[in-house]
């Protein structure tokens, strides 16, 4: 089963290395990882997606929680949450018709062009993993040359009272 962990950690040398190492030492593959500043100075937010059985994830979450520099560990998958990803897609669309097709598809997905030239364009899309995946696949026949994804970020929903109903 896929799990998303959201971790607040003091931003010190080696701390990220320790967290990532904890997963690889136990044979967990990290599917996606995002690390960026949080609202607090010197505190980073780590969003990590991994697969494994619930018991093993529980264990690793507890172990993370024990580390001095780790402030909060949240298993986002266990509550109602929003999960989003950013994707940049570069297309070498060198005819006006191809560019038009690509832009029309992007529009359908609520995506937009962030770079446009006579040689092609870069489209920015956000959405759930499956959504951005689908757009990437649909654009491929138009000449996708590069895709860069942010990895997933997740946030528990505003009304958490109803979280017992599970999942999003």
Chain positions contacting a copy of itself, by CB under 8 A? 6, 11, 13-14, 16-17, 20-21, 23-24, 27, 29-39, 45, 47, 82, 84-86, 88, 90-92, 114-122, 124, 126, 144, 146-155, 157-159
User: Among 36, 32, 7, 31, which Cα is nearest to 19's?
Assistant: 7
**Quick one: 58 or 146, whose CB is closer to a copy of itself?**
146
Nearer to a copy of itself, 16 or 56 (CB): 16
Is the CB of 35 or the CB of 105 nearer to a copy of itself?
Answer: 35
- From the list 65, 69, 90, the residue with the least C-alpha distance to 6 is 65
Instruction: Indicate the SS3 state at residue 121.
Output: strand
Structure tokens at 138: 């649909």
Taking the complex as a whole, the smallest distance from the CB of residue 57 to a copy of itself amounts, in Å, to 17
Query: How many other C-beta atoms are found inside a 10 Å radius of the C-beta of residue 140?
Result: 12
């Amino acid at each position: 089963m896929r799990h998303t962990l959201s971790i607040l950690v003091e931003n010190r040398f080696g701390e990220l290395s320790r967290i990532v190492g904890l997963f690889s030492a136990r044979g967990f593959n990290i599917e996606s990882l995002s690390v960026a500043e949080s609202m607090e100075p010197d505190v980073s937010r780590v969003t990590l997606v991994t697969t494994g059985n619930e018991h093993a994830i529980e264990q690793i979450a507890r172990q993370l929680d024990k580390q001095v520099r780790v402030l909060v560990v949240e298993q986002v998958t266990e509550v109602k949450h929003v999960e989003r990803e950013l994707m940049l897609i570069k297309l070498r669309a060198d005819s006006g018709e191809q560019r038009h097709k690509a832009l029309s598809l992007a529009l359908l997905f609520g995506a937009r062009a962030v770079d446009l030239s006579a040689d092609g364009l870069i489209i920015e899309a956000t959405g759930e993993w499956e959504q951005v995946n689908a757009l990437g696949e649909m654009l491929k026949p138009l000449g996708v040359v590069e895709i860069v994804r942010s990895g997933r970020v997740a946030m528990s929903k505003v009304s958490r009272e109803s979280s017992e109903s599970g999942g999003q």
